Amino acid sequence: MQRFGALVVAGVASVGCSIVAMPSAVAATPDPQPPVVTLISPTPGETFSQSWEILLYARATDPDGTITKVEFYDGAKLLATDDTPGLYYFAIPPHAAALGAHTFVARAYDDQGLATTSTAVTVYVVPPTIMRIPGYVEAGVEAGCMILVPDVPSPASRPYLLLGGDRSVLVPGAHLLVSGELMPNVASYCMQGIPLRVISAEPL
């Protein structure tokens, strides 16, 4: 008896006089990729006065989908959820954070149900430091801005930008003893001086 070998052509095997279909290769489906998230503000070890606002900013992306939301945590406590695409953020109001250490993380979720938590960032909240500065009030370059030129020059040799206070007292030429708190992280259109939140102002 004569035996015939097998011939395979383009996925079809011929064995003797029979035709046998061979299974086709199936492309593997890649595993879904989790999101990537980074807490970009605040920075590790940063110190905040309790009367300051603390801004949390996170950047989140997803390699094979979209970000659906980002959560912000202080330890195990959920602070807020932001689902607006772009730079995700949350502002902790003044006096809302207790004194001491706070460890923040951001947690991002994507449209496939996957989640990633950022590297933790620990910061410190301290009591406000009140300064008493004697000096003369001058008008700033920008309209409505008032600055205090201290009788004793400041360490940075710069005047103080007066924030708040009684504007009937804080007038150009007034010689005052101003009590206030430095607010270095406050943004203002007034470009002169070190921001100082005025608590009180007494004539000298």
The pTM score is: 0.68
Predicted confidence (pLDDT) at residue 93 exceeds the cutoff of 80? yes
Residue 79 tokens read as 């602070």
Q: What kind of fold does domain 130-203 have according to CATH?
A: OB fold (Dihydrolipoamide Acetyltransferase, E2P) (2.40.50)
- What is the longest distance spanned by two Cα atoms in the chain? 125
**Region(s) of the chain under CATH 2.60.40.10:** 36-126
pLDDT of residue 6: 45
What is d(CA 88, CA 182) in angstroms, rounded to the nearest whole number? 28
pLDDT of residue 38: 96
pLDDT of residue 36: 96
Q: Read off the pLDDT band of 9 (50, 70, 90).
A: very low
Q: Please state which of the four CATH numbers 2.60.130.10, 2.60.40.10, 1.10.10.10, 3.20.20.70 is assigned to the domain occupying 36-126.
A: 2.60.40.10
Residue of 72 and 17 predicted with greater confidence: 72
Q: Read off the pLDDT band of 8 (50, 70, 90).
A: very low
Q: Read off the pLDDT band of 1 (50, 70, 90).
A: very low
Instruction: Please give the full DSSP string across the chain, using - where no structure is assigned.
Output: -----EEEETTEEEETTEEEEPPPP-PPPPPPPPPEEEEEES-TT-EEETTS-EEEEEEEE-TTS-EEEEEEEETTEEEEEE-SSSSEEEEEPTT-SPSEEEEEEEEEEETTS-EEEPPPEEEEEE---EEEEEEEEEE-SSTT-EEEEESS--TTS--EEEESS-TTTS-TT-EEEEEEEE-TT---S--SSEEEEEEEEEE-
**Region(s) of the chain under CATH 2.40.50:** 130-203
Structure confidence by residue, pLDDT tens digits, 109-161: 999 999 999 999 999 999 988 889 999 999 988 888 899 999 987 555 678 99
Predicted confidence (pLDDT) at residue 96 exceeds the cutoff of 80? yes
Which is nearest to 85 in space by CA: 104, 65, 105, 101?
65
| CB neighbours of residue 61 within 10 Å | 13
What is d(CA 198, CA 18) in angstroms, rounded to the nearest whole number? 97
